[in-house]
Chain A
Amino acid sequence: GQQVMQIPQYQHVQEGEDFTTYCNSSTTLSNIQWYKQRPGGHPVFLIQLVKSGEVKKQKRLTFQFGEAKKNSSLHITATQTTDVGTYFCRHSGYALNFGKGTSLLVTP
């Protein structure tokens, strides 16, 4: 299966700072999905990207899919305490498909 690697594993920011997590693969991906898991909760789907170079925005969140379709990023502008949680990327369609996640801690 195609493994996706996520970095960083942890990120601690002050409220108002920006945050970015990266998802990388050694092979071309047909798509990439992003999920958010709040502490004590379950993963919730955020978005799917399928096109080379695709950029999608959801309020303060910007998702990008690389031109070569081997990497993706999630950028949060001006973090808020509600952004706390773990962000996972996933390549759908394969059994080994979740990244290990980036845990974001936001300090007020």
Chain B
Amino acid sequence: NAGVTQTPKFQVLKTGQSMTLQCAQDMNHNSMYWYRQDPGMGLRLIYYSASEGTTDKGEVPNGYNVSRLNKREFSLRLESAAPSQTSVYFCASSDPGQGLEKLFFGSGTQLSVL
């Protein structure tokens, strides 16, 4: 099993450009998450999806949109990128129904906005 797959691994954007980060998991997990990681700030939740068809804002949702396309896929869109969105983005999934909400992370996307 591949686990959680994120694409792309690296991306450079100019201010104002748009892009979509893709995430897919093959573990049949109900919940999926998008985090951003900045130095000294830890992991901050952008959006999450508790189940297919639902999405909720996390701690830092401004400037982002998400789509839970199906149970496997959860995408993150930047409509108009800003330098403040330069970060490492992680997708994660979990299956809370197992009584252990263990997060499985993708390998991350390093995004630079110039």
Contact = CB atoms under 8 A, between A and B. Distances in A.
Interface residues of B, number: 24
Interface residues of A, number: 20
Interface stretch (A58-66, A71-79, A90-98): A90-98
Interface of A: 9, 33, 35, 41-45, 48, 88, 90, 92-93, 95-101
22 contacts: A9-B40, A33-B103, A35-B103, A42-B90, A42-B107, A42-B108, A43-B43, A45-B102, A88-B42, A88-B43, A90-B103, A92-B96, A92-B101, A93-B96, A93-B101, A95-B48, A95-B58, A98-B42, A98-B45, A99-B42, A100-B40, A101-B42
A42 B93 CA distance: 13
A44 B108 CA distance: 12
Interface in B63-114: 90, 94, 96, 100-108
Contacts of A101: 42-43
Secondary structure type dominating chain A contacts = loop
Interface of B: 35, 40-45, 48, 56-59, 90, 94, 96, 100-108
